[in-house]
Amino acid sequence: MNLVLIITDSQTKSMVGAYGNPKVDTPHLDRLAAHGIRFENAYTSSPVCTPARGAIFSGMQPAVNGAWANNMSPQRSIPLMGTIFREYGYRTAYTGKWHLDGSEYFGDGEPGGGFEPDWWFDGYRYAHAIGPEMFAKYKSVKTAAQLREAGFTEDKMWGHMVADRAIDFLNQVGDDEPFLLVVSLDEPHGPFVAPPEYWEQFETMGIPEPPNYNASVEGKPAMQQLQRRQNGDVPWEKRASFVNRFYGCNSYIDREIGRVLDAVEQLHGENTVIRVVP
């Protein structure tokens, strides 16, 4: 039996249509939910990126594996998922965001976790693929016009390049080779970069203000109360462009997930389990 693990970043339950939000546009995740098991509750060992990922790939709590804060790595003596699966005869491929090498957000370009190196494509490798000038714009663009000016077509997207490598692995792995494929997508995490048309898709939709926006923080944790005192109430209108880009990137990455799902179905559909972790 094969396993495909798809990870998205900062994608909340409300950003998937199958969970009841009519404003989002996620037909491929909705299709997967309709034909599989949809979980209503999810729990994490830590609501922070590196510790959560470290727990997933080691099977140990952050305080045990050593990756208890961002930009840390699990202890070198602890085998991670790629090593464990290879020990049992699996092919293992990983492509996309890693954030477990102890360097910084985009990584150091070095394959880790015991995974085969040929499909590795962390943020470091993406930055080198598009070049330093374009990567600087990747982190700073704020409008669809700026995306076009910088040349951000579909083939320049990190998510598209990650999906390409996942599909390449699916084409190359043999029917008689059990495999683990991890497709780790940074999107829809900021800076929410997507082909310009996806940002434009939501500009005129008038996404409504959530009922709990600027809700009282009375009785909430001290850190949340401190943030409110420092930042005050932010008018929904000031959040509109941020929300539009978030929704647009969320819609875009669903298309890349769809490409991977189609490839799994066509090439290994009879004996593959797919798991999506937002």
Question: Is 49 a known active-site residue?
Answer: yes
Question: Is 99 a known active-site residue?
Answer: yes
Catalytic residue among 99, 160, 189, 249: 99
Write the DSSP assignment of 57-125 as a string of letters.
Answer: HHSS-HHHHS--STT----TTS--HHHHHHHTT-EEEEEE----SSS-TT--S---TT-BGGG---HHH
Catalytic residue among 28, 35, 49, 128: 49
List residues with catalytic annotation. 49, 99
